[in-house]
Amino acid sequence: MQANLSESWTIGPVEVPSRLVLAPMAGVSVQAFRRQGRRFGAGLVCSEMVSCAGLHHHNERTLGYLRIASDERPLAVQIFGSEPAVMAEAAVMVESAGADLVDINFGCPVRKVTKTGAGATLLDDPDLACRIVDAVAGAVDLPVTVKMRRGLENGSRACLEVGPRLVQAGAQSLTLHPRSARQMYTGTADHALTAELVERVDVPVVASGDITSRARAQAVLATTGAAAVMVGRAAQGNPWALREMLDGDAAEPSREEVAAELILFVRETVRELGERRASGFLKKFYGWYLGRGRFPRPFKQELVQLATTEDVELRLLAAAPGAAELLERLEAELPTGDEILLDMPISIYGGG
């Protein structure tokens, strides 16, 4: 039986309007990315992982991750760390910022995270992992969710032992990326493991890893019994992948559509990060948007070398003049001035 990706589901009291979840990705999941994901059909979007230590010390850049707009909800803010009390404090700040869910990262395989005892390392210390979930769940009224990998080493089945314990500690949903931390993003995601986890817990499980098309999303839902699928790299610079998964519309976007979405993304990112930070941050997105045969390869290199984001906009509009009308329509549909800001003097909210 084919899974209906447009069907709603719930995590605790939070209703999620589709079975597509946009993954939390470091250096990618800024507010502009999340808002775009919601427009193209993602039922739930996630912030990139936020350091609980950074929130504890009121680091301005870290606090900047807690800006939330109404059109990106429901939204999960993902936190990482290894100290239960500090994680609980961070969760309270996430709740105050207006998030719908607090997600805990027990899956990041990157060395700078794991060496602090956070991320995937916690799958090897299930007692501490459970204390973190218990502390966070006890500190907030929001549903607490956990994203994890299968374990640290190839072939590990740690997630099957840790997962049910995390649910007992207070997790109301689990996301499993069934690769090991050692694998990083190589090889394939073993969703037979996802199916086993679904059988062992009584909360919704989100299947993450290698979700690249409607056919793949439906197959994973059908064979695992998962509540939803998480889309990551397939949506980078390609929100049309979400539309294809949701309703089967596989039509390639026109150059005008690509240019309009990219310009909107550029403007929203500059508003969020400021021109200086955004200019460097955006360079990787040019290749993601303009690839797949949409524009000639040299065009991406031309954009990367331009001095300002305004120059990038002008060049895109010159290459696709019809994008201006589409852009105007997209901007008119965005809500303005509704972000929930913490009651602190945080200069980054002004794009600093």
Inter-CA distances, 125 with 78, 120, 246, Å = 20, 10, 38
3-state secondary structure of 228: strand
Angle, in degrees to the nearest 10, between helices 214-224 and 240-247:
50
Tokens (6 digits) for 278: 């955004």
- The DSSP symbol for 252 reads P
Nearest to residue 232, comparing CAs of 346, 13, 81, 78? 78
**H runs (alpha helix) in 98-125:** 111-114
Inter-CA distances, 158 with 106, 126, 130, 180, 314, Å = 12, 9, 14, 10, 51
Question: Rounded to an integer, what distance in angstroms lies between the CA atom of residue 175 and that of residue 288?
Answer: 26
Which residues are known to be catalytic? 108
3-class SS letters over 31-69: HHHHHHHHHCCCCEEECCCEEHHHHHCCCHHHHHHHCEC
Question: Rounded to an integer, what distance in angstroms lies between the CA atom of residue 299 and that of residue 342?
Answer: 40
Question: Rounded to an integer, what distance in angstroms lies between the CA atom of residue 187 and that of residue 53?
Answer: 33
DSSP string, 302-319: HHHT-SSHHHHHHHHHHH
The pairing of beta strand 14-16 with beta strand 171-180? unpaired
Question: Rounded to an integer, what distance in angstroms lies between the CA atom of residue 2 and that of residue 14?
Answer: 24
Nearest to residue 126, comparing CAs of 87, 154, 159? 159
Amino acid at residue number 154: N
Q: Are 170 and 137 in contact (CB under 8 A)?
A: yes
Question: Rounded to an integer, what distance in angstroms lies between the CA atom of residue 225 and that of residue 211?
Answer: 15
- The DSSP symbol for 178 reads E
Question: Rounded to an integer, what distance in angstroms lies between the CA atom of residue 134 and that of residue 166?
Answer: 8
